Amino acid sequence: MIDYIVSILTEGAIFAIMALGLNIIWGWSGDFDLAFYGYVALGAYMTLVLTVGPATSPTEYILGLSLPFPVAVIIAMLSTMTLALIVGSIALRHLRGIYFSIVTLGAVYVLYIFAGQFVPLFNGFNGVSGLFDPMGDVLGLGFTAYPYFYLALCLVVLAVVVLVVTRLSGSRFGLALRSLREDERAAAAFGRDIYVMKLKAYVIGAALGGLGGGLFVGYLSAFNTSAWSPVETITLYAAILVGGRGSTRGVLLGIVVMYMGLQEATRYLPEVAGHASFAPAFRLILTGIVLVLFIRFRPQGILPERRLRDKDISGTGGTASVAVESPITGPALDPGAA
């Protein structure tokens, strides 16, 4: 029982880091990015190939270094940021709304296909494995104590991420991002460089995705194409939407409800003979239904993003531009119009 609690908390902390990253892209900046799970996967793959040592035949993968786990995760984050910079600089320049989503969906599928088909990269469909209990031997932890250490590690990283994200959220950058989300033209009229700001947000978000991926693979110890699929992003979106898009507290709540809650609620489902995939499929059905219902009836989520009051008494008062009327209707400019 205690093992179960430790594992679900560890997973929850890791997914929360990913969701906070995605929340910067979708919640603040307003871009519905379908490539996000690609950054998680790249972070996971890179962490593996940087730590597990050289490939032995018949496996094949790039690099094959034996770096310490934290260094590997940092390099993995840098590589996801590079990929995000490339994808973002192409997709964010002129595209908004569904066109942006379609191009990012394309990008993640290209990555997925290359990861699965191009064997010299990450060993194709079989994937890379062999990262057992990272840092465990250095710290001299036995396999009974290790899960507690890893949980603590993930929680500490999550706490740092929450701190950084909270600071960023209230900063001029965070506020300016929301102003573009609400009205891109108005923000541009106030002298904001929309493209550069959105690209920055995109890369920062992807970095958190890569961080989450690195921690995830430290927990899973292996990664291959059946461990992730491009549409997995949708469960992260569901968590953000349920909790409250744009709000850090909301996203954390969303992870608790959509990952831990859903996992717990479907844990006692009867095993159906011949249907090994019954419980996961049932969870995905619930996720889909929740997603549709929340967009329709409560798009601001359970804990909505707070409206910022204008503190400048000499002004006319009222609410600042961060006001959230219908948070998920971002500006849907025509492609090419921006």
Partner 1 sequence: MHQALLTLGFGLVGAAILSLSALAFTLEYSVTNVANLSHGEILTVGAYCAYLVQQHGGGVILSGLAASAGGGALALAVHNGVIDRFVRKGIGGLPTFIATLGVSLVIQNILVIIFGASNLGYSVPPGAPRTIGPFLWTDTEIQIMVSAVAITALLYVIIQHTRFGKSLRAVSQNRSLASVSGINAHRVAALTWLLAGVIGGYAGFILAESIGTFSPYSGFTFFLITLTAAVAGGLGKALGTLVGGVIVGIGLEFFGGYLSASYNLAFAFAILSVVILVRPRGLFVGGRRSIFE
Q: Which residues bind partner 1 (CB under 8 A)?
A: 32, 90, 94-95, 97-99, 101-103, 105-107, 109-110, 113-114, 117, 231, 234, 237-238, 274-275, 277-278, 281-282, 284-285, 287-292, 295-296, 299, 326, 328-330, 332, 334-336
Kindly state the smallest distance separating residue 115's Cβ from partner 1, in Å.
11
Residue 58's alpha-carbon distances to 18, 121, 196, in angstroms, are 33, 13, 44
Q: Which residues contact 189 (CB under 8 A, 6 or more apart)?
A: none
The DSSP-derived string for 212-259 is HHHHHHHHHSEE-TTS--GGGHHHHHHHHHHH-TT-HHHHHHHHIIII
Let me know the angle formed at the C-alpha of 291 by 290 and 293, rounded to the nearest 5 degrees.
Answer: 65
Kindly state the smallest distance separating residue 316's Cβ from partner 1, in Å.
29
Residue entry with tokens 């992003």 = 233
Nearer to partner 1 among residue 15 and residue 100 (C-beta): 100
Nearer to partner 1 among residue 274 and residue 315 (C-beta): 274
CA dist 45 and 42 (Å) reads 5
The rounded Cα 148 to chain-centroid distance in angstroms is: 24
Relative orientation angle of helices 278-297 and 233-243, to the nearest 10 degrees: 40
Nearer to partner 1 among residue 114 and residue 190 (C-beta): 114
Let me know the angle formed at the C-alpha of 155 by 151 and 161, rounded to the nearest 5 degrees.
Answer: 145
Kindly state the smallest distance separating residue 288's Cβ from partner 1, in Å.
4
- Using only C-alpha atoms, the chain has a radius of gyration, in whole angstroms, of 20
Taking a C-beta distance cutoff of 8 angstroms, is the pair 242, 294 a contact? yes
Nearer to partner 1 among residue 67 and residue 290 (C-beta): 290
Nearer to partner 1 among residue 173 and residue 282 (C-beta): 282
Kindly state the smallest distance separating residue 239's Cβ from partner 1, in Å.
13
Distance from first CA to last CA of the chain, Å, rounded? 54
Kindly state the smallest distance separating residue 237's Cβ from partner 1, in Å.
7
Kindly state the smallest distance separating residue 39's Cβ from partner 1, in Å.
17
Omega within 30 of 0 (cis) for the link into 120? no
CA dist 6 and 335 (Å) reads 46
Kindly state the smallest distance separating residue 124's Cβ from partner 1, in Å.
10
Nearer to partner 1 among residue 54 and residue 280 (C-beta): 280
Helix (H, G, I), strand (E, B) or coil at 271: coil
Nearer to partner 1 among residue 140 and residue 336 (C-beta): 336
Taking a C-beta distance cutoff of 8 angstroms, is the pair 97, 333 a contact? yes
Residue 276's alpha-carbon distances to 10, 270, 280, in angstroms, are 24, 11, 9
Nearer to partner 1 among residue 217 and residue 240 (C-beta): 240
Kindly state the smallest distance separating residue 159's Cβ from partner 1, in Å.
30
Nearer to partner 1 among residue 261 and residue 331 (C-beta): 331
Kindly state the smallest distance separating residue 240's Cβ from partner 1, in Å.
11
